[in-house]
Structure 1
Amino acid sequence: MADNDWKARLGMVYSTDPGFKYETADEPEAETLPPARQDLRVWLDRKQRAGKVVTLVKGFVGRDEDLQELARLLKTRCGVGGAAKEGEIIIQGDHRDRVVDILTRSGYRCKKAGS
């Protein structure tokens, strides 16, 4: 942490200990596994989506930037919208077969799961 990173220390109480070093609780981002070691599950989901169907890809292990890149690839190839957040990729519509095909061709291990 840089000495001038005061925003990370907001709420910190002053310490009189001359040897005190403030440490943030930032966890290092997970290392992205290579595609052959990823174990992805492709789900079909209707919950909390006003009856609309979405395809969920769960089980990605790695950095958020890599998850966003994979989501961009799937959305482009399927020609639909979607999002990537909290380790999941959401693709609008029922595209399970196509997503599984795209992922396996890209070298990922994946299976259909759920209903």
Structure 2
Amino acid sequence: MDLQDQLKNLFPNHVTEENPSEAPKKPEFWLQDDPIICKYEKRKGKPVTILEGYHGADADFKKLAKALKSYLSVGGNYKNEQIIIQGDYRDKIMAFLTGHGFKVKRVGG
């Protein structure tokens, strides 16, 4: 007799809930088929990581930029259909995006 059977014997009227971790998760962001381009530049002597190629609404851009900035605990901006993150965080950003279902292409060294 396993634990579930013992619990059913102790509490026969209890209705078990489905495990929420097994339920399919709704994507947090709008996903696209084209890869997002992740590149590194220096602007005014400071390193920045630039994400290009995300085709979505302004609200989607802002949501993704906010999630990246809070994940990395850095500053950044969204303008001209580019997400600009302060610092060289290409590896962490690529891991974050692939973890959320995006295709990412690294450009540059």
TM-score norm. by structure 2 comes to: 0.70
Runs (5+) with no aligned partner, structure 1: 1-32
Question: Which of 103, 107, 113 is matched with 2:97 structurally?
Answer: 103
Q: For the residues of structure 2 that align with 1:68 and 1:38, how far apart are their CA atoms?
A: 19
Q: Are the equivalent residues in 1 in contact too, given 2:35–2:104 (CA < 8 A)?
A: yes
Q: Would you identify which runs of 4 or more consecutive aligned residues in structure 1 move more than 4 Å?
A: none
Runs of 5+ in structure 2 lacking a partner? 1-28
1:42 paired residue number:
38
Aligned-partner residue type, residue 93 of structure 1: G
Structure 1 contact 36–107 (Cα < 8 Å) conserved: no
Question: Cα RMSD between the aligned structures?
Answer: 1.5
User: What amino acid sits opposite 2:87 in the alignment?
Assistant: G
Deviation at residue 34 of structure 1 after TM alignment: 4.1
The percent identity for this pair of structures is 37
User: What SS does structure 1 have at the residue aligned with 2:45?
Assistant: coil
Equivalent residue pairs, number:
81
TM-score (norm 1): 0.66
Moved more, 90-99 or 34-43: 34-43
